[in-house]
Structure 1
Amino acid sequence: MNPQQSPPPAQVCVRHTDRPTGLSCTRCGRPACPECLRPASVGQHCVDCVRADRRTTPQVRTVSGAAAARSGTPIVTYTLIALNVLVYVVTAAQSRSLMANERGSALFVDWVMFPPAVASGDWFRVIGSGFLHYGLIHLLLNMFALYIVGRDIELVLGRARYLAVYLISLLGGSAAVMLLAQNSLTAGASGAVYGLFGAITVILIRLRQNPNSMLILIGINVFISFSLPGISLWGHLGGLAAGTLATLGVVFLPSWLGARTPERARVVGIVALVTLAVAVLAVIVVATMALR
């Protein structure tokens, strides 16, 4: 009689050697347990092959050169809304009023945009004023507009570029107020929001979509800014100009300068944003020196 042969050893997962398995990766052929396998178009791949495939697959990019977000959650937009709401809650609590939160609020007094105060050294007002609002209606209107346009802009530009455009728009509004409305008390995210109106219009043109609806909306808002008292016309126009120029620098300037690779396009866009930010800050400095 032939001696009884022992059965071959069972396969074990290459990542978990204590787990016998009858499964294997259809790409590399190595045994793997169900926890280490992922569904694929043909069969199933182990996590190591999935990771290697992601490294070798070219990154999908938007028209701005930004990496396409794996998650569609507009984190920057939600964060900006949260910060504006938080600042409003603080001013409302200090003033004990939802509709007249500017009265009796120390934070409002310290942050509101007043060019002579900036010239005296209160530099933070040029940013902080963009997070203040005169009453609940003012806040709700700006946050609604930020929510509507901000989400799409963030997906196209990417989080970092989008935040840069927002802040440059905010500074552009402050710069215009410093130059042309030196005796006003200005507050609100409107300058930044107007900048986003300009940004989405530029993006629509770049995507070869009809921008007429945004152009009409901008025209209506500019007309309202001209017509109604108490609205910061120059803050709105300054933000609109800054946001439009910033987005042009990101989505159009690289092709105008012949940047043929995504890396060069990103560099051109970053340089454009930095240059515009420096120019806006220079305007604020010049206006400050003139006030002094």
Structure 2
Amino acid sequence: MNPQQPAPTCYRHPDRPTGLACTRCGRPSCPECLTPAAVGQHCVECVQQGRQDVRPVRNQAGSVQSRRPEPYVTWSLIAVNVLVFAITAFQAHSVMDNQRSDLFVDWMLVPALVGHGQWVRVIGSAFLHYGPIHLLANMFALYVLGPYCEIALGRARYLSVYAVSLLGGSAAVTVLSNPLTASAGASGAIFGLFGAVAVVMLRTRQNLTQIMVLLVINLIITFSVPGISVWAHLGGLLAGTVAAGGILYLPRWLRASTPALAMRIGWIAVAVVGVIAVAVTVLGAPTLY
């Protein structure tokens, strides 16, 4: 008779006899060192190697996308807008008449005051809202548009598009509106997201009907309802559309050879839009003596 062969032991735990093995590499493994797979079971090293071999998922802008993306930037922007509104309501001792607060007076966009060097109004005004209805309308639009745009572009690029849309809206108001007109609201940045979402859908060959209908409805409201800042909406829409186009189309037109180069070109495009918006504001801001 032949002597009985000893049972194989786990390759990671030599003191543990086992009758199991990795179906990928064949190494004997104990139950603790095996992970169920689509076919059979894999050892620790094979699982790690499989993760490294999987190509990362990239969004439309070319950056690596997490497996469970959460629109944290959108939630943060909504939180900041709500917080600023709460501060103005507290200062004014009124939710409906919060524009009487000191912060509102110091931040609302008045072109003539911007021309006299009060540059904080260019950005600060985009976080102010005239009463809760104005706030809710803008935050609902941000809630609808923001997550889609954030996941498609990536958090950093999404925030940059939001920022240049804000600057574009403020630039248009500063240069083209009545110098003594006061305006406030996130509408310029949100209209920029309308344009960005349309560009993303166009780039990914999706049906544009729904987003275009929403945009047209909002433009009709912009031109028909008194008191709405037309130039903020149009300036933000233009800046956001051009910035998103620079991210998604310019690298393709320039035949960028790598994802890193494509992302660099996109960042340059967004920066150019932002610089133009700031230059228009600085050079075109009116002054009253």
SS in 1 for 2:226: coil
Aligned partner of 2:66 in structure 1 is 69
Asked if 1:252 is matched to 2:249, the reply is: yes
1:267 aligns with one of 253, 264, 268:
264
Q: How does 1:37-76 map to 2 (within 5 A)?
A: 37-76=34-73
* AA at the equivalent of 1:83: V
- TM-score (norm: length of structure 2): 0.87
Aligned partner of 1:212 in structure 2 is 209
Distance 2:88 2:30 in 1: 57
Is the contact made by 1:254 and 1:268 (CA closer than 8 Å) also made in structure 2? Answer: yes
C-alpha RMSD over aligned residues: 2.6
Deviation at 1:270, TM superposition (A): 1.3
Aligned partner of 2:91 in structure 1 is 94
Deviation at 1:230, TM superposition (A): 1.1
Structure 1 residues without counterparts, runs of 5 or longer = none
Deviation at 1:130, TM superposition (A): 0.9
Is the contact made by 1:66 and 1:156 (CA closer than 8 Å) also made in structure 2? Answer: no
Aligned partner of 2:154 in structure 1 is 158
Aligned partner of 1:238 in structure 2 is 235
Q: How does 1:1-292 map to 2 (within 5 A)?
A: 11=9, 14=12, 22=18, 25-28=22-25, 37-103=34-100, 105-181=101-177, 182-288=179-285, 290-291=286-287
Moved >6 Å (runs of 4+): 7-10
Distance 1:109 1:19 in 2: 76
Deviation at 1:287, TM superposition (A): 2.0
SS in 1 for 2:42: strand
Distance 2:124 2:214 in 1: 27
Change (3 A) 1:41 1:237: same
* AA at the equivalent of 2:154: G
Is the contact made by 2:88 and 2:98 (CA closer than 8 Å) also made in structure 1? Answer: yes
Deviation at 1:117, TM superposition (A): 2.5
Change (3 A) 1:243 1:34: farther
Deviation at 1:38, TM superposition (A): 3.8
Deviation at 1:29, TM superposition (A): 5.4
Distance 1:31 1:190 in 2: 63
Deviation at 1:32, TM superposition (A): 6.2
**Residues 141-150 or 261-270, more deviating:** 261-270
Distance 2:28 2:59 in 1: 38
**Residues 171-180 or 209-218, more deviating:** 209-218
Q: Report how many aligned residue pairs link the two structures.
A: 284
Deviation at 1:49, TM superposition (A): 3.8
Is the contact made by 2:113 and 2:287 (CA closer than 8 Å) also made in structure 1? Answer: no
Change (3 A) 1:150 1:18: farther
**Residues 239-248 or 108-117, more deviating:** 108-117
Is the contact made by 2:111 and 2:180 (CA closer than 8 Å) also made in structure 1? Answer: yes
* AA at the equivalent of 1:271: I
SS in 2 for 1:45: strand
Distance 1:11 1:128 in 2: 67
Is the contact made by 1:69 and 1:155 (CA closer than 8 Å) also made in structure 2? Answer: no
SS in 2 for 1:73: coil
Structure 2 residues without counterparts, runs of 5 or longer = none
Distance 1:186 1:62 in 2: 36
Is the contact made by 1:194 and 1:236 (CA closer than 8 Å) also made in structure 2? Answer: yes
**Taking every aligned residue pair, what percent have the same amino acid on both sides?**
53
* AA at the equivalent of 1:152: Y
- What whole-Å deviation, never above 9, does each CA across 1:214-245 have from its counterpart, x for those lacking one? 22222222222222221111001000000000
Deviation at 1:152, TM superposition (A): 0.9
Change (3 A) 1:64 1:13: same
Deviation at 1:34, TM superposition (A): 5.8
Deviation at 1:46, TM superposition (A): 4.4
